[in-house]
Chain A
Amino acid sequence: MRKRSRIITSIISTALLGASVLTGTNSALAADGGLAPYDPSHAGGTITLVAAAAAGTLDPKVNYTGQYWELYQATYDGLLAFKYADGKGSFEIVPDLATALPVFSNGEKTLTFTLRSGIKFSNGQPVTVADVKASFERIFKVSSPTAGSFYNGIVGATACLKVPATCNLDKGVVVDPKKNSIVINLVAPDETITSKLAVPHAAINPASSPSKDAGTTPIPTTGPYMYKSYDPNKELVMVRNPYFKEWSHDAQPQGYPDEIDYKFGITPTAQVTAVENNQANWVYDPIPADRLNEIGTKYASQVHVNPLTAMWYLPMNVNIAPFNNVRARQAVDYAIDRAAMVKIFGGTQLAAPVCSFLPPNFPGHVDYCGYTKGATPDKPAVSWTAPDLALAKKLVQESGTAGQAVGIVVSDDDVNKQMGVYLQSVLNSIGYKATVKPISGNIQFTYIQNTKNKVQISVTQWYQDYPAASDFLNVLLGCASFTPNSDSSINISGYCNRSFDTQMQTAMGLGLTNPTAGNKLWGQLDEQVMKDAPVAVAFTPKQLDFISSGTKNYHFSLQYKMFVDQLQTK
């Protein structure tokens, strides 16, 4: 998942994954790492969130932005959910609309659920197994961005992907209204299927939901909040769902504010000022670089910094010059000064240089760096220390690509533009003629994916959808993720190595039977693919949340970040 034009410029802490909040945390935790029981004495009030722009469609099957996935926690539910818990606890998958975790059978290819009874949508209609089946079919009917990558393993999905309008999952999602049971049949075992069933694209919506992107029209919810109104140019208003009754504190706890207002069209610097003045509760956008020191000193108790499983990276198009030459790509990997990029991002408190594809403390991650001074991909160092410009220049000369023009496509926000200018300086210094092409953050991510645009190199980010190595390596570098001439071709480099793909399938299979061996293989695949250098990984960022002084009960989930509905104003 990628954040909307997002740069998380704010962010700090050298804490390891799991040490969630750096300062001023007032979170109440249950003994098991989950949230403390609901305390009605803190309920009420309005939480105001501010952002520069909305994140597009409100449809939970279509929207693929961190900005709205953060809200979907409080509104939509799937059969399963990631636990409402701080830190690593949020990676635990718990039953949500299902009564229990699925029972696996048929060689891990069949999952059986029982739907909870008595749950209603925010329009008053009961949630039925028919809604569940319709929701899975709707994933394909609305061409959800993850239909082909997350849910293509459901029996019948192949046909649905070919002809979405008539999608029928009679054999893939078998429901029994009498028993209130749901059986999901897969064509092959999938180690990450439970994670995929817990993300918003697998949320259960009414069967009457439109067979196309609902856009700005809210779809009835099951969580504690529903959408009252949505104007992407102005405001999104969430109010309490009158039909909600807490059925699982771990999956969907009751929320505290009576209303959540998300205001759009406010510049990042105005957002910071609004929070400082208690006119808003939370800033969505990255804190402007020249205000970081201010909030880190004057408002330190209102700053929360958390590590993220994410990366900033430079995809290089392996199918067009000059990066269709592996030496040219390796040259870029050697040349970039990751410490300099961390400085542009906001300093060492906010990010850390990395070389590996899988982020630190992520399943399968191995500490290695093949592209640092004194190391090679075959004899990697433990970590990145410094760039090697001399070697980079030599590789460019050897590749025969010196003097070629290179266009760098970046988002037009300050941090990305600065990254682009820095990269231009580096590429010029190793022998290319580089130009920076800043384009609107609203389209940059899809623009760089489409091969029609002939993008040679770009700067972008990736944030995990769920905690599994396949969400990075398979999603971003798998052949199935490369679709020429499409805006939805998340394998931006266009890297397709069949042998590597086969090994990834093996790793995914191992994840089911022997997760330790699976993760070890993922680590090896990480090192292996970086020898081909389809991307240059720059650094791993951290998340900074800046909340107003009157806002309490801050909790941070490593899965979906801040729990908006758990914030208190009383």
Chain B
Amino acid sequence: MALKESSNAIFSESPGKIALRTLRRDKRSIISLSILGFIVAISLLAPVYSHYVAHTDPFNSTLDATTTIGGKVVSVLQPSTTGLGLGVTPIGPTWNLRGYFLGADGQGRDVLARLLYGGRNTLLIGVSSGAICIFLALLIGVVAGYRKGWIDAILSRLLDVIWAFPVYLLAISLSVVLLTSGLTIGFIHLGPGSFALPIFIIGVVYIPYVARPIRAQVLALREREFVRAAVGIGAKDSTIIFREILPNIIPSVLVFIPIIVALCMLTESALSFLSIGVQPPQASWGTIINDGLALLYTRPLVGIAPGLLIVLTAASLNLYGDAVRDALDPKTRARGDA
């Protein structure tokens, strides 16, 4: 009797509501969203931290800066006083939020402040390029799958061309070319230091990975009875696409979103690590790892901290993607209910 009531309740709700309810109960979803929420929140608070707490400018070199530790004023870049006195080492973590909590980098800048700003940029680029990728992939996939014929042939070959290149090789090539002189399309000019460039580059290279499965799904949906019925009653193409096709591919797209955002974020970090993503003095987690590479022996935290944040964010996004997939998949839900 209880099972019957439960089943009635399920059938009376929309698939979206069921998925949301499932997600709210899923521990993976709760944990990953909490971590993501925390990272996003502290990243958004970057200006507050640097201006009102640490009183530091994370984008300007401050090689002659000082800070106070235990009542003593010390230089942020400390010349060696042992042996032959070779080298200058940035100050290590002070564990004091009022300044240099995680220490300084080679330019005397507060690592924590840059980490927070870096998080904003990495997340911004990850989400923006993910959004561009999903939007364009959806457009291409639906048009190609629905129209078929020569439009499909052209769009599919275009996707094949992009797919033919390894993602990182393509991203690196585009970055090297575009970051040298910027990108001009008509009256729109994107300067070499513009965030729009990495967003555009990363968004484009992942399009085939989303567009092809969508196209395949649309091709299959196009032959389904309900679509044929809509065609049969003389519905317009736009009506068929928006009312019959899109609602059926949205679940797949929703599953793609966290995974693509994670991939875009990782690609941004990789490009920035290679100095062809976010340009100085701006920061991203990738650029900070690059900065930390030169301090690996003396100040390993400069490289480790952004690395950990990348791992945490990417893992959380993937975990959340898994949870979304399970929540939207009726078969998985059915298994769960059983």
Cα separation A56 to B112 with both chains bound (whole Å): 42
Known: A292-B80, A339-B64, A418-B106. A303 touches B281 (CB 8 A): no
Please indicate the chain A residues that have their CB under 8 angstroms from the CB of B193 in the complex: 435
Residues in chain B near residue A269, CB distance under 8 A: 297
Q: Which of A12, A417, A421 has the most CB of B within 10 A?
A: A421
Report yes or no: B280 in contact with A289, Cβ–Cβ below 8 A: no
Residue numbers in A under 8 Å from B250 (CB-CB): none
Query: Does A480 interact with chain B (Cβ within 8 Å)?
Result: no
Q: Which of A297, A424, A429 contacts B82 (CB 8 A)?
A: A297
- State the Cβ distance, A388 to closest chain B Cβ, in Å: 14
Q: Which of A295, A424, A425, A436 has the most CB of B within 10 A?
A: A425
- B231 contacts which chain A residues (CB < 8 A)? none
B-contacting residues, A300-330, CB 8 Å: 300, 303, 305
Stretch at the interface among B45-53, B83-91, B202-210, B324-332: B83-91
Known: A417-B275, A418-B106. A290 touches B63 (CB 8 A): no
Residues in A with CB closer than 8 Å to B96 are none
- Tell me whether B37 is interfacial, beta carbon within 8 Å: no
Q: Is A570 an interface residue (CB 8 A)?
A: no
Q: Do B299 and A337 have beta carbons less than 8 Å apart?
A: no
Are A12 and B280 in contact (CB-based, < 8 A)?
Answer: no
Interface presence of A249 (CB below 8 A) = no
- Chain A: interface size category: 35 or more
Q: Which residue of B lies closest to A407 (CB)?
A: B192
Q: Are B280 and A436 within 8 A (Cβ)?
A: yes
Nearest chain B residue, comparing its CB with the CB of A10: B86
B180 contacts A305, CB within 8 Å? no
Chain B proximity of A309: nearest CB distance (Å):
21
- The one of B79, B89, B180, B281 in contact with A421, judged by C-beta atoms closer than 8 angstroms, is B281
Minimum CB distance partner of A339 in chain B: B64
| Contact segment of A80-88, A101-109, A204-212, A342-350 | A342-350
CA–CA, A344 and B105, complex, Å: 11
Chain A: which residue is nearest B87 at the CB level? Answer: A292
Which A residue's beta carbon lies closest to that of B57?
A425
B180 A437 Cβ-Cβ under 8 A:
yes
B293 cross-chain contacts in A, Cβ below 8 A? 414
The reply on A340 being an interface residue by CB < 8 A is yes
Distance A37 CA – B332 CA, assembled complex (angstroms): 86
Q: Which residue of B lies closest to A387 (CB)?
A: B64
Set of chain B residues within 8 Å of A23, measured between Cβ atoms: 84
Instruction: Name the interface size band of chain B.
Output: 20 to 34
B82 to A: closest C-beta gap in Å: 5
Query: B60 to A343, Cβ gap below 8 A?
Result: no
Partner of B83, one of A10, A293, A422: A293
Assess whether B63 is in contact with A293, with CB atoms less than 8 Å apart: no
Distance (whole angstroms) from the CB of B178 to the closest CB of chain A: 13
Chain B residue nearest in CB terms to A420 = B280
Judge if A270 is at the interface, Cβ distance under 8 Å. no
B86 touches A303 (CB 8 A): yes
B298 CB to closest chain A CB, in angstroms? 4
Taking a contact as CB atoms under 8 Å apart, the answer to whether A293 and B82 are in contact is: yes
B-chain residues with CB within 8 Å of residue A428 when the two chains form the complex: 60, 281
Enumerate chain A residues within 8 angstroms of B180, measured Cβ to Cβ.
437
Contact yes or no, A289 B87, CB < 8 A: yes
Task: Tell which of B77, B84, B279, B281 touches A349, judged by Cβ atoms closer than 8 Å.
Answer: B84
B:272-321 near A, CB below 8 Å: 275, 279-281, 293-299
Tell me whether A293 and B86 are in contact (CB under 8 A): yes
CB distance from B42 to the nearest CB of A (A): 25
For the complex, what is the distance from the CA of A288 to the CA of B89, rounded to whole Å? 12
User: Which residues of chain A are within 8 angstroms of B106 by Cβ–Cβ distance?
Assistant: 289, 344, 418
In the complex, what's the smallest C-beta–C-beta distance from A170 to chain B, in angstroms? 49
Residue pair B88, A422 in contact (C-beta under 8 Å)? no
Partner of B279, one of A293, A344, A435: A435
A74 to nearest B CB, angstroms?
Answer: 28
Min Cβ gap A443→B in Å is 13
Is B239 among interface residues, defined by CB-CB distance under 8 A? Answer: no
Is B7 located at the chain interface by the 8 A CB criterion? no
Contact of A290 among B59, B82, B107, B295 (CB under 8 A): B295
For residue A18, CB closer than 8 A to chain B, the reply is no
Is the C-beta of A403 less than 8 angstroms from some C-beta in chain B? no
Query: Interface code A518-549, partner B: CB below 8 Å = 1, 0 otherwise?
Result: 00000000000000000000000000100000
Question: Which residues of A sit under 8 angstroms from B107, Cβ to Cβ?
Answer: 418, 421-422, 425
Q: Do B88 and A296 touch across chains, with their CB atoms under 8 A apart?
A: no
> Are A289 and B88 interface neighbours, CB within 8 A?
yes
Q: List 26 A-B contacts (CB under 8 A).
A: A269-B297, A288-B297, A289-B87, A289-B88, A289-B106, A289-B295, A290-B87, A291-B87, A292-B86, A293-B82, A293-B89, A296-B85, A297-B80, A298-B83, A339-B64, A343-B79, A343-B88, A346-B87, A346-B88, A347-B88, A418-B106, A420-B280, A421-B281, A422-B63, A425-B59, A438-B275
Nearest 6 A/B pairs, CB to CB: A292-B87, A296-B86, A297-B83, A296-B84, A340-B63, A425-B61
| Residues of A bordering B, CB below 8 Å | 10, 12, 22-23, 269, 288-298, 300, 303, 305, 337, 339-340, 343-344, 346-350, 405, 412, 414, 417-418, 420-422, 424-426, 428-429, 435-438, 544
